[in-house]
Amino acid sequence: GAPMIPLGGATMAGIIDIAGIESIVDAGTDVMGFDLSPFNDLAPVKLELTSKLNPVLLTDAQPAYSYELDGAIDLPAERPIDFKVVRDGTAIGTAIWMKIRLTDDIVLENAPPHGLQMHWPIHAYRFKEPRDVREGQTISLLAGTSGNSVWVHD
C-alpha cells in the first residue's frame, strides 16, 4: 500500500508576549459590581492570534504533543514541558499551533509570526498573571489535552 498522508505531526507551543494585552477583555474584577475574575481560573481566556495583536515568541518552540498517524494515538492527559527563553519580555501566555509532517521531506508549520498569515488559526492561552522573563531562563509548564483540544498552562 501507499503511505498514509500526513504521516504525523505535533501540536507546538511557545511562550509569547503581546504588547497592550491588558486591553483584551476577560472576566474582570468589576462587572456591574461583581468580581468575576475567579472564572478566569475555570476557563482561561483563549485568544485567536492575529497579526494585529503582533505576538512575539519569547521561547523556543516545544511540542506539547507529537503523534504518528500509522497506529493508535495514546496521549497522556498532562505532561510537563520546559521552555528555554530566547529573548527578554513579559510572558503573557502560550501560543499553540500545528506542525504537520506530510512526508519525510514536506513539513507544514504555522508558527507565529509568519503562520498568522495562513488559513489555520493560532490560539493563545493567557497565564493567570503576566511574568517578566529573561533570556536563558527555563520555564516549566504543563501541557494538557482532552483528546479534542490541547492547552499549555502554568
15-30 residue pLDDT tens: 999 987 765 545 555 6
pLDDT of amino acid 28: 58
Which residues is 78 bridged to in the sheet?
A: 144
Residue 57's pLDDT band (cuts 50, 70, 90): very high
Residues 6+ apart with CB under 8 A from 108: 98, 99, 100, 102
**Rounded Cα gap, residues 14 and 141, in angstroms:** 11
pTM of the model: 0.82
